[in-house]
Amino acid sequence: MNFIKRFFPFEALLVTTILGIHLYAAFSDAYNFPNAWFMRDDAYYYFKVAQNITQGLGSTFDGINLTNGYHPLWMVICIPIFALARFDLILPLRILLMVMAGLNAATAVLIYRIIKNNLSHPVAIAAASFWAFNSYIQFIVYETGLETPLAAFAVALFIYKTSQFEKEWRAKPVTPRQIVALAISATILMFSRLDLVFLAVIGGLWIVFRGKLIRSLLPLDVLIIFVSMTSSVALRTGMEQYNTTYAASAVEAMALVLVFKIISLYFFGAYQHPRAGSALNTIRQTALAITISSALATGLYLLLVQLGIGKGFPRSAFLIDWGISLFLILALRLAAHWFSDPKIKIDLQTTPPLVEFQTNWKKWLTEGITYYGILGGTLALYMLYNKIAFGTSSPVSGQIKRWWGTLIHTVYESPAADWSEFFGISFQWAYNAWQPASKMFLWMAKLIYPLYPGPTTKDERYYISMFVFILFALVVLFINARRARRAFTNMALIPLAAGCGIQILSYTTTAYGGVKEWYWASEMIFATLAGSVLLDMILRPLQHKKPARLTLEFASIALSIFLAFQFGSMVVATMRYNYFPADPNYREILPILPYLEKNTPPGTVIGMTGGGNAGYYIHDRTIVNMDGLINSNDYFHALQNGEAATYLRQRGVDVIFASPGLLALPPYNGQFTPYLENYSEYGGKKLMYLLEEPKY
């Protein structure tokens, strides 16, 4: 591969350091792995399913129910590793840790090359080291055991390949082989985490429409229209009612409005070069396109509702959407005018839309079929296989979490409850989509406390800090408009930003419950790359003088050494040697296991709300997942219909280990209560017989 033909000295040192630190962790005491590294219960869903696949049981967590509640490519990686679990439960975890270290090193090298090729060497060193050794990124991405390391690598690889393509197509004609290679990269991206399909789709627009302004505006227009329509409904109905009643219809309306607005914007000339006419002409074209498309989309949607095809919601949301989308799309056009090259030959950019379409449609169609044929074809095959094998075309875990979001006061994580969560800019855990940038905003919020004191002003200070930083960044980018334009283009930051935004909205606008902090791998990559652009702009004046340039090189290397030492020290302190028994009884690694084994006979099938790590480590017993995330599609429907207790009992579940209070609330709604009889208690949970017939 071209990627490994040449390794720069810094890359070799970086990879060696990353692998060396993780190798130290991989040989540490066995007790460390479930208690200090792979601590997320969700990770063990992968581990146990992979183990069962290698033992010929099929895609199942419990050996009873077939499940597809996982991202496929990470499972493919886990399967050969967890074939070793039949010999030693900890050995696969040691190997997986090194696999994740390899993905960390590869991602850091890709970030280094993207930035080195487009910005400057000192910034590339700093950014790659930041990614490799930042404590938050390490904890969320590389210590969970989930698919996130693969997702981060796939995002970086796709951006790297797109960045290479950006230079290639400007130098020589594009070949079908290049489009196929990019489509394969996008397919890897999609299957690393299925919600990255949005970035893969947006990336295709960036590739196919190269050389035209539409490639820069269209991805952001899609994001704006998504934001505008869904937030208009939420503004009109309130967040709770939006989640419980109107989320699905809002997304349906958004899809319809999106088609009308994009087509209208194109044929009204809103994708022509912003300097092709006056600002007044741009405003007129955009306003006319948005107004006509909004009216047509509104009329058609209301007609569909009358015919019983669509779902209704407050009609005034369409008017609100018109105002929001008009303002934001106009703002985008004006920003494009300010950042565009004033020296560009306007006559080459002013082809009428219809003529442009007639000239380019064959090329766009051919390349679009190639790219989206591979991407969409593989997705269709995956969905068809899932439908045949599991009875549902998409992972059941995602369907369950969207169902949770429509319930009021569920025991699991709720959908976006306020506007900060709706846009993914909360500094709270799950909806904090822009870490580690948000950590900097919190630090700035502490600095301005003397200017804005008060015990309840943390939120305000956080968003003030965010606004000030974004304003500062825009000023810096505007001052360096030419270099910023080139960097954002060559590093594919526009499609990456749009893909990140749409991915966030795919959760927050669809009443998705159970959002987790490890979903945001692409946002972390974007924050690292965009932050590097800003840092490069700030340091640019120093790059022109050799002494200053050398000083920056040494400073970036010193920072890299400091971050590596800091991370290495944390690993040494966490992954201890000869501190725990050398050959522990794995049933004693988790305190709950001795209790379960003492109070249940061998062969018992135990239902648990979760149970990932227990299912992996327990001996001679079976754990069945009750929340449904790693259970079957049939169980999901039984849970929805209030028949989950009967379903589990028919499949051999003998006892339930859970909190009765939890089972009384949504999504369980007390359906297990008549079938349960207590006989033991541990840690606030009860071990209960699951009866064949209800007590009442």
Domains of the chain, by residue range, sit at 2-30+68-208+393-574, 214-348, 586-690
The pLDDT of residue 343: 64
CA 673/CA 690 separation, integer angstroms: 9
**pLDDT at position 174 over 70:** yes
Q: How many helices (H) and strands (E) does the chain have?
A: 29, 5
Contact status, residue 274 vs residue 282, Cβ threshold 8 Å: yes
pLDDT tens readout for residues 630-682: 999 999 999 999 999 999 999 999 999 999 999 999 999 999 999 999 999 99
Give the three-class secondary structure for 432. strand
Region of 580 please: left (phi>0), alpha (psi -120 to 50) or beta.
Answer: beta
Q: Is residue 5 pLDDT above 60, yes or no?
A: no
Q: In 3D, which of 627, 514, 631, 634 has the Cα closest to residue 243?
A: 514
Q: What is the pLDDT of residue 276?
A: 73
What is the Cα–Cα distance from 134 to 155, expressed in whole angstroms? 18
What's the chain's average pLDDT? 93
Q: What are the pLDDT digits (tens) for 89-135?
A: 999 999 999 999 999 999 999 999 999 999 999 999 999 999 999 99
Reported pTM: 0.95
Amino acid at 524: M
Question: What are the angstrom distances between the C-alpha of 246 and each of 218, 231, 406, 410, 510?
Answer: 27, 11, 10, 18, 9
Please tell me which of 212-216, 308-312, 604-608 the model is most confident about, judged by mean pLDDT. 604-608
Task: Assign 586 a pLDDT band (cuts: 50, 70, 90).
Answer: low
Coil, helix or strand at residue 606: strand
Phi/psi region, residue 68 (left: phi>0; alpha: psi -120 to 50; beta: rest), is: alpha
Contact of 236 with 316, CB cutoff 8 Å: yes
